[in-house]
Structure 1
Amino acid sequence: MPATGGAMLSSIHDDVAVESLRKRLALDPHRVRRLRNRLCKLQGSDEEALSELPTAARKAFADEILLHELTLDQRFDSQVDGASKLLFRTSDDLLLESVILRVATGRTALCISSQIGCAANCDFCATGKMGIARSLSAPQILDQVVQANQMLKPEGRKVRNIVFMGMGEPFHNVAAVNETLSKLVSPLGFDQSPRRTLVSTVGLPAAMVEFARKFPGVNLALSLHSAIQSRREEIIPLAAKYDLTELRAALQQVAEISQQSIMIEYLMLRGVNDGPQDRAALAEYLRGLPVHINLIPYNRVEAAPHLEGTAKEEREAFGAALRAEGFTVTIRYSLGADVDAACGQLVRRENRRIAAAAAQ
């Protein structure tokens, strides 16, 4: 986004640019630190954050430093369960999504995106049907957190849990995700608890192990969805590149490094992965690993009309059988169905609307 005179603005999350400007303006470093704290930790408004600077320096700072990389395009609030779908627009006019989840326990979670589109092309996912447009920068990922917290402040809420479960495969954007995580968990950044932060992947073994080494305190979730290789490849085409044997070896390494449970996400698809054979394969595959299995209901997406979710009673029976074998199992419920909370649905819909309007 150009500044006055054609120069490019730098992000508030760009440490080098901010420090360079601080020195040039002869600002007290504590003032800049308080500005960042106000924005990143205290849910302050832009005006409140800038008020930490001397009056004479505010305009010069605002002329060169961008507090937000994204513009809120639309907000959709569920009338059913308290979820809010946020549609953001980048400076180059691309759309991405985040979801605020107000859980019944009172906790607030934020599901963030790391890419616009996704190359994994999972059969059940609206984002995957978009293909890949591009990866997001660390400031663009972080701004989803900043803006969500600013929206939540009037409610007396704050983002407690951050999950990388939005648009994109995080390990296809490793550099930006690593930078984001470093700033999120740093006491000088967002001071987010690593234990309340989770990165979800469809399963890139080498990247999973490297992630565990860099961020042993941050939780990892694996979108497994089947422990039968041929079926998993039908659901997740990328699985053909990384088979279940290689993936299990990576899970074992991650467990040894992180010394904590690994979240296993299992989307329940009627007639696809919810039969007795599927359950037995899953139990055998995960036996001996410290895992927490999440059984997830399927939100139907327009791009995959051939898929249906498993009935609630059958999901519960599937979970009960796994518990009987000694596994920790949570049967999830869906949030935000009335606001298209499945990632990618809103972007696909809005892109079609924009294209149709342009064609008129």
Structure 2
Amino acid sequence: MTELISPFDDEAIERLRQQHRLDRQHVRVLRNRLFKHFRPDAAAVADFPLRDSLRCHALELYRRFDSEVDGATKLLFRTDTGMLIESVILRIATGRTTLCVSSQVGCAAACDFCATGKMGIARSLHYTEILDQVLQAGQLLAAEGGSLDNIVFMGMGEPFHNEANLIKTIQTLTAPDHFNRSPSRILVSTVGVSDAMLRMAQRFPKVNLALSLHSADQSTREQIIPLARRYPLEQLRDTIANCNRIQEREVMIEYLMLSGVNDAAIDIERLTRWLDGLCVHLNLIPYNPIEDAPHLRGTAPERIVKFADAMKSHGVKTTVRYSLGRDIDAACGQLVRKENRAYAMNITEMA
């Protein structure tokens, strides 16, 4: 049986075109309909002469959860290996829509506060699986009469632990003859893989970078982010400064507010010193509790506001992120971890 071809696979599509002597216009129309206009599968491939040779999706949509509070949508996708990943559509009050995509099944960074990190790492996603999250979310929004504005790599996985597929994904997203997305509407978030951050800044200077800092104290950061031992704060600060020079744009600094961990007056002083001279935008994030970290508590809302005011008084551009989708399992990876664990147990029992 002939293996079906993914529309994301440029080499396979070109071989198919040459083999059957197809006009390039057929491929252009297919890509425009799927990648730029997010037409439904049947409508997108309707005029493609070899549509039976195509497999439009690398992922199966397993379940959809819609928030009754703020319009967020969580999409659970099943991979060919049976494991689940998730993407989240955030419909911001300003009218813009952001898609949060996953780059791995699980995550090896093992951050203490993260449900996905408690999963460990199963495998990295192929670029076709990352792109298909964008395609299916885009199709969903288009069917509702909406549009996809921003794409952020803040889902499951550390994006720079899957660097090759991340680069291929961004190349395809920004290619004029594919998705044609503006790189300034793409953001890659990392817990701080310094060398890969610099490579990203050099290769895609208009793509936004975000650093999950969460503490400007080395020992505290190591407690909540084990990877911090490999990439110390001094090295990360130099990396941010270099990214500023290369990109001439702000780097987002993500700071999860944890009660008694990183929200004291001394933490404000440390953070102010660490950020001094850098071109950054500080984003304070309320903590969504997870089952596997009962020892962590979120900072009280009024304390977050005071923290933000203090940072602003020191000249740091600061905002507070208000989480969306709390009623559909706000902790990224929490639901997927339970589903994947059940799946793995079933496979073991069947073996």
Match of 1:220 among 197, 203, 209: 209
2:286 corresponds in structure 1 to 297
Deviation of the 1:220 alpha carbon = 0.2
Contact 1:32 1:52 in 2 (8 A): no
Aligned AA (1:32): V
Distance 1:167 1:17 in 2: 28
Question: What is the match of residue 160 of structure 2?
Answer: 171
Shift of 1:227: 0.4
> Is structure 2 residue 16 aligned with structure 1 residue 21?
yes
- Answering whether residue 2 of structure 2 is matched by residue 12 of structure 1, we say no
- CA separation in 1, counterparts of 2:114 and 2:177? 36
Following TM superposition, the consecutive aligned residue runs of length 4 or more in structure 1 with deviations greater than 2 angstroms are 7-10, 351-360
Are 1:43 and 2:38 an aligned pair?
Answer: yes
1:85–1:341: 8 Å Cα contact kept in structure 2?
no
Instruction: Output the CA distance in 1 between the equivalents of 2:39 and 2:99.
Output: 18
User: CA offsets per residue over residues 211-234 of structure 1, 9 Å max, x none?
Assistant: 100000000000000000000001
Contact 2:83 2:340 in 1 (8 A): no
- Please tell me whether the aligned partners of residues 189 and 212 of structure 2 are also in contact (alpha carbons under 8 angstroms): yes
User: Percent of pairs identical after alignment?
Assistant: 56
Aligned residue number for residue 62 of structure 1: 52
Cα shift at 1:354: 4.1
* Residue aligning to 1:32: 27
Give the AA of the match of 2:37: L
1:119 aligns with 2:119: no
Correspondence for 1:351? 340
Please give the secondary structure, in 2, of the residue aligned with 1:109.
strand
Tell me whether 1:287 sits opposite 2:276 in the alignment.
Answer: yes
Q: Which of the residues 265, 268, 272 maps onto 1:276?
A: 265
Alpha-carbon contact 2:106-2:156 (below 8 Å) kept:
yes
Asked if 1 retains the 8 angstrom alpha-carbon contact of 2:254 and 2:283, the reply is: yes
**Residue equivalent to 2:65:** 76
Q: Deviations over 1:167-186 (max 9, x none)?
A: 00010001000000011111
* SS of structure 1 residue aligned to 2:75: strand
Alpha-carbon distance, 1:357 to partner:
6.8
Separation of aligned partners in 2, 1:255 and 1:66: 41
Give the structure 1 partner of residue 218 of structure 2. Answer: 229
Distance in 2, Cα, partners of 1:331 & 1:315: 8
Q: CA deviation at 1:349?
A: 2.2
The corresponding residue for 1:261 is 250
> Tell me, what secondary structure is at the counterpart of 2:221?
helix
From 79, 84, 90, the counterpart of 2:79: 90
Shift of residue 356, structure 1, vs aligned partner: 6.8
Alignment partners' CA distance in 1, 2:206 and 2:70: 30
Aligned residue among 304, 320, 324 for 1:315 = 304
TM-score by length of 1: 0.94
Contact 2:159–2:189 (8 Å) recurs in 1: yes
Q: In terms of mean alpha carbon deviation, does 111-120 or 296-305 score higher?
A: 296-305
TM normalised by structure 2 equals 0.97
Aligned residues: 349
Three-state SS of the structure 2 residue aligned to 1:66 is coil
Asked if structure 2 preserves the Cα contact closer than 8 Å seen for 1:340 and 1:346, the reply is yes
Secondary structure of 1:110 counterpart: strand
Specify which of 306, 318, 322 is matched with residue 295 of structure 2.
306
What is the alpha-carbon distance in structure 2 between the residues aligned to residue 214 and residue 114 of structure 1? 19
Structure 1 counterpart of 2:157, one-letter code:
G
Alpha-carbon deviation of 1:342? 2.2
Query: Following TM superposition, by how much is the alpha carbon of 1:236 offset from its aligned partner in structure 2, in angstroms?
Result: 0.3
Structure 1 residues 35-59: Cα deviation after superposition (integer angstroms, max 9, x where no partner): 0110011010111111232xxx24x
Contact 1:99–1:341 (CA<8 Å) still a contact in 2? Answer: no
Amino acid at match of 1:29: R
Contact 2:83-2:343 at 8 Å conserved across structures = no
* Secondary structure of 1:11 counterpart: coil
Question: Which segments of 5 or more consecutive residues in structure 1 lack a partner in the other structure?
Answer: none
Structure 2 alignment gaps of length 5 or more: none
In 2, Cα distance between equivalents of 1:249 and 1:231 = 20
Kindly report the root-mean-square deviation, in angstroms, between the aligned alpha carbons of the 2 structures: 1.4
